[in-house]
Amino acid sequence: MPDDSPPIQPIPRGRRWKRWALLGLLAGGAVLLDGPGWRWIADRAAMHFLPRFGLTGGARFSGRLSSGDIQIDGLELKGEGAIQSVDLGHLRIRYKPSRVVKGEVESIMVTGLHAKFDLDKPWPESGLTPKAPSPPKPLAEILRALRERVLPIGADVTDLQVTITKSGTPFVTLSSLDLQHPSGGEVFRLKLGEMTFPNAQKLPAQETSLNWGAKDKKKKKFA
């Protein structure tokens, strides 16, 4: 029986070349965005938004988006308002590319985060229109939702320091803080340095573990 279907027309060479050129352009753009592209965008975004908060400075960005491992080093911010300075030695964020679109990360490492604030100076305004307040949720519901978000994230924070001044003198200071939390675990290990408060009040350095179970939160000192 004869075949009456029309013959398949070959794709013209010119159209085929354009298709391969488009695919090559998309592939090249993806590779560029994966590495130097996102780092360039992050640097330009920082330069654009930092002045809105009365801050100047910069940092070094590294890593590839597809690797699930990005890093920030040498962050140095200065301000004339309440936020006087923020320095960060190293920040490392690890995630699964397929899950990060949902706001999920696997672990966060922070080293050498030092912040200084001056309560006599004005706080920066974001310029955003404030939203109407939503009805308050029960505290138990807030804590349960927070727990579900926090526990999957591994955390390793080392050498966090905070200095808050008022009337030109130290108001509250935290000499150091270390925090370790394994991904999926319920125990947070804290190592607090000396804290100072107004009227020469001091809280000595101590080490503590917090057990954030499903029903309660327990605190226990460890050696």
Residue 91 has pLDDT above 50, yes or no: yes
Specify whether the CB–CB gap between 163 and 170 falls below 8 A. Answer: yes
Question: In the predicted model, is pLDDT for residue 67 greater than 60?
Answer: yes
Alpha carbons 121 and 104: distance in angstroms, whole number: 35
CA-nearest of 163, 143, 157, 124 to 212 is 143
The set of residues, in sequence order, having a beta carbon less than 8 Å from that of 86 and lying 6+ positions away, is 55, 57, 75, 76, 77, 113, 114, 115, 116
Contact between 60 and 70 under an 8 Å Cβ cutoff? The reply is no
Q: Looking at residue 213, what is its pLDDT?
A: 81
183: closest CA among 91, 70, 96, 124? 96
pLDDT tens-digit profile of 147-163? 888 999 999 999 999 99
Q: Which residue(s) pair with 83 in the sheet?
A: 117
Query: What confidence tier does 199 reach under pLDDT thresholds 50, 70, 90?
Result: confident
Across the chain, what does the average pLDDT equal?
83
pTM, two decimal places: 0.77
